[in-house]
Amino acid sequence: MTTATIDRSAAQSTDNVWQMAQRQLDEVAALIDLNPSVHEYLRYPKRVLEVSVPVRMDDGEFKVFTGYRVQHNMSRGPSKGGIRFHPDVTLDEVKALAMWMTWKCALVNIPFGGAKGGVICNPKAMSMQELENLTRRFTTEISIIIGPEKDIPAPDVYTTPQIMAWIMDTFSMQHGYSIPGVVTGKPISIGGSQGRDKATARGCLYVIDEAMNSLGIPIQGARVAIQGFGNAGLHAGELMAQRGYTIVAASDSRGGVYRERGLNVAELIAHKEATGSVVGFEGSEPISNRDLLACRCEVLVPAALEKVITEENARDVKAKIVAEAANGPTLPEADDILFERGIMVLPDILANAGGVTVSYFEWVQDLQNNFWEEDEINKRLKQIMTRAFAETADQARRYNVDMRRGAYAVAVSRVAEATAKRGLYP
């Protein structure tokens, strides 16, 4: 490939999550001296599909929702990435999340590219029937670009195994036979994998353990604060408590709870299941989502949405390790402040890569119709996460940069190599 001119004027601001993603790539491109043509190629999504999704609501009326599927890069294999149902979904957010998936799959070295999907909707205000109607029609609209060899969706914020089952069924009905490999995060009864429900959290635990060991901090009793008590955060809390960490704070969209001596996580999960929120958990004090980020702990786990650790609050963080179970929780300016302060940030593409790794195992099992035991899944997951942590730390040391830049150096180099080797078609 020959050289190209790169206009970075759009990538200076971090108000926009897509510009933030591009800026992260630009920085690492300079760090690893990336070929400018490959850099330019990687700055944009391969394919963007916007769809209108008409849905029959329970009152008999139709409502039209907007949905997206973005495929960022497929140089290393079919693209992979979750589908988010949330009122704040934007095309730029989906583009950023798709790019991050490319890096994440490359970092853990699984043969996938990156994609993401989203529908602008409020699933909390919809009935199960309305959600099913929305999911089935959205699947139909994006079915022209998804498939086990093309692009494989998965769960993300406010999408569940049941929603994955509807995606699998809709796609299969259209083709006339069962195609479980079109989507991951499915229920086990229809081709889901053992261990997938806790995979993101388990992967996060493995890299936090590695980070604790590398910093020489004892695990037993180390205090943990978790923002976002959903799939990623709740299971992280559960597994970390079992491992010997003390969970001092947890929150969700309605607020948070704090207990200096540690929350009983099993009871907190039961409370969340019974009431829909962690708020009001007996024996705890209330804590705001903002204060939770600054509470006294060794490990902070942002496990909700993007852009929560900013230039304004990064100096208040007291944790020694920030493990990004969520995607994009730390703004680049905040990254620099945390690095200066000696706080180790385990970047999203490393800390939450356990989900896509076990999704990869699920896809492999579906294609082979051969299913593995959970011990086997967890053993392979641990190997992959431990290796990704070591490679990230190695590159961070080599370039004297933070772990995010270290992880990007590993991931972008792998994608760049595949992209350059394949060359430009036609």
Residues forming contacts to ligand NAD in the complex (CB under 6 A) are 155-158, 200, 227-233, 251-253, 289, 303-305, 325-327, 352, 355
Nearer to ligand NAD, 191 or 328 (CB): 328
Residue nearest to ligand NAD (CB): 230
Exposure of 326 in the CB half-sphere (CA atoms within 13 A): 25
- Whole-angstrom Cα distance, residue 263 to residue 250? 9
CB of 194 to ligand NAD, least distance (A): 15
Residue 46 has a CB neighbour count (10 Å cut-off) of 18
| 116 a catalytic residue | yes
CB of 393 to ligand NAD, least distance (A): 21
Which among 309, 250, 253 has a CA at the least distance from the CA of 281? Answer: 250
- Whole-angstrom Cα distance, residue 330 to residue 317? 12
CB of 119 to ligand NAD, least distance (A): 14
CB of 156 to ligand NAD, least distance (A): 5
Nearer to ligand NAD, 74 or 97 (CB): 97
CB of 186 to ligand NAD, least distance (A): 13
Nearer to ligand NAD, 38 or 163 (CB): 163
CB of 107 to ligand NAD, least distance (A): 13
Nearer to ligand NAD, 47 or 290 (CB): 290
Which among 297, 243, 238 has a CA at the least distance from the CA of 265? Answer: 238
308 contacts 329 by C-beta, under 8 angstroms: yes
Which among 289, 320, 353, 316 has a CA at the least distance from the CA of 107? Answer: 353
Residue 172 Cα distances to 55, 168, 181, 191, 292, angstroms: 20, 6, 10, 13, 44
CB of 65 to ligand NAD, least distance (A): 18
Side chain identity, residue 353:
A
Measured between alpha carbons, how far apart are the two ends of the chain, in Å? 12
Helix (H) or strand (E) holding 404, with range, is: helix 403-422
- Whole-angstrom Cα distance, residue 87 to residue 312? 26
> DSSP of 271-285, one letter per residue?
HHHHHSSSTT-TT-E
Nearer to ligand NAD, 34 or 299 (CB): 299
Nearer to ligand NAD, 28 or 326 (CB): 326
The one catalytic residue in 95, 104, 116, 198 is: 116
- Whole-angstrom Cα distance, residue 71 to residue 78? 9
- Whole-angstrom Cα distance, residue 360 to residue 358? 5
Nearer to ligand NAD, 249 or 303 (CB): 303
Positions marked active-site? 116
